[in-house]
């Protein structure tokens, strides 16, 4: 009896089943049907401005923890791109 090892053995053990067998289009259609059913029954979550505000705060808090990222965008803030320079002048003359 011959034993297979490495990647070949892994592929033999990892067989797709369930939703993994479906195409992306099929999965999208099923999700769409579920969303419509939830809406019809009144069980779907409805976002309001308070939910959006809360989500924005969470995202902003997470991004601001990356100090290097904040330093990069802060350094960009004082620069003007050549195309924007003309637009800035046009706005000053009005």
Where in the chain are the domains? 48-76
pTM confidence score: 0.37
The token duo for 49 is 């401005």
For residue 10, pLDDT over 60 is answered with no
CB atoms within 10 A of CB 80: 10
First to last CA, the chain: 86
Q: What's the rounded mean pLDDT across residues 31-60?
A: 89
Compute the mean pLDDT over every residue in the chain, rounded to the nearest whole number: 80
Q: What is the mean pLDDT of residues 21-43?
A: 92
- pLDDT class for 45, splitting at 50, 70, 90? confident
């Amino acid at each position: 009896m011959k034993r297979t090892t490495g990647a070949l053995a892994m592929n033999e053990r990892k067989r797709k089943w369930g939703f993994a067998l479906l195409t992306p289009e099929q999965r999208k259609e099923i999700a769409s049907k579920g969303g419509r059913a939830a809406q019809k029954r009144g069980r779907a979550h409805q976002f309001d401005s308070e939910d959006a505000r809360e989500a924005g705060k969470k995202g902003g808090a997470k991004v601001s923890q990356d100090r290097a990222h904040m330093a990069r965008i802060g350094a960009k803030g004082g620069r003007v791109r050549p195309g924007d320079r003309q637009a800035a002048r046009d706005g000053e003359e009005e």
